[in-house]
Structure 1
Amino acid sequence: MKNLMFLAFIFICVNSHAQSNNPKQLVIDFFEAFHEQDTVKLKTFATESLQLKSVSMNAEGKTTISTSAYSEFVKSIASIPKNVKFEEKIHEYRIEENGLLSTVTTPYTFFYNGEKSHCGINVFNLVKMEGDWKIIFLMDSRTKQHCN
């Protein structure tokens, strides 16, 4: 029994390490955890100081930027009722990587209970820390116009 538990532990460690060694895979895993409302897993993808920024246009046509702590984002994901269906459909992954820094850009369309809500672009800035990629900055744009 101890051997079986040890092997399971090793598999989990190797699997989680492999996922964080690739910027694209980290973002894919982020969205899987997001859709599953897995707040424990979501916390593992980011640095403690991560803040999120959202860019949108207000009713007067002015660009607004809002900022929130990653911890607040994680709490908001946990508070979504289980009967609500949401999906952030990613259209593609654009990746720039250079040593310790990577940027992953993902155009998306967001659906809420099957209805198109908005669209935009996510920009993930990642840093390689002790061999693992972590999100250090996350910004998105949100619009209801020109959505695919």
Structure 2
Amino acid sequence: MNKLIIISSLLVLIQSGEYNSHGNDERGNEIEKVVTTLFDMMRDSDGERIRELITEGATLHTVIQENGNTSLRETRFDDFIRSVSATEPGTLDEQLTSFISHEDENLATAWMEYQFFVSGEFSHCGVNTMNLVKKPDGWKIFSIVDTRRTEGC
């Protein structure tokens, strides 16, 4: 529940303009590079290299809408990495349709719309939010939350 409150608070702050947007400057480009590298590694089925992009204890959640109820489903990052590694290269293809990031010193939040394809076939679309922290060796993802839908893409 605390994670949901933190994410909700960050989104409210972003929408209210409390964060500085650096969508096209060097830091914004660094954030986007981490995100696109994650999707490149998924496309290449290189799950083990994904570990280079995340912090210890990183979280991965999906917002689920069922029967009028909203819930969060957590996926362990180790399970996600095993799943990516088990696919043939080129099977998983997450394509961004928009991207924006906001940074404040060593904290960044990225919001992106996407379309997801499996073996070239459309699977779903939605939004990802990623929270990143600046470490000595670069920006690292510590949280990913996504939505998924098949209509209204």
> If the TM-score is normalised by the length of the shorter chain, which range does it land in?
0.7 to 0.9
How many pairs does the alignment contain?
125
Q: Contact 1:56–1:143 at 8 Å: present in 2 too?
A: no
What are the ranges of 5 or more consecutive residues in structure 2 without an aligned counterpart? 1-28
Aligned counterparts of 2:151 and 2:79: Cα–Cα separation in 1: 27
- Higher gyration radius (CA): 1
What does 1:1-148 align with in structure 2 at a 5 Å threshold?
22-58=30-66, 60-80=67-87, 82=88, 85-147=91-153
Q: Contact 2:39–2:93 at 8 Å: present in 1 too?
A: no
Q: CA RMSD in A?
A: 1.7
Q: Using the TM superposition, give the Cα deviation of residue 63 of structure 1 relative to its aligned residue in structure 2, in angstroms.
A: 1.8
Aligned counterparts of 2:114 and 2:89: Cα–Cα separation in 1: 23
Aligned counterparts of 2:70 and 2:150: Cα–Cα separation in 1: 14
- Render the CA deviation track for 1:44-86: whole Å, top value 9, x for unaligned: 000110010001222x232231002211110111122x28723
Aligned counterparts of 2:53 and 2:46: Cα–Cα separation in 1: 12
* Helix, strand or coil at the partner of 1:50: strand
Q: Using the TM superposition, give the Cα deviation of residue 127 of structure 1 relative to its aligned residue in structure 2, in angstroms.
A: 0.3
AA aligned opposite 2:122: K
AA aligned opposite 2:93: E
TM-score w.r.t. the length of structure 1 is 0.78
Percent identical pairs in the alignment equals: 29
Aligned counterparts of 1:75 and 1:107: Cα–Cα separation in 2: 24
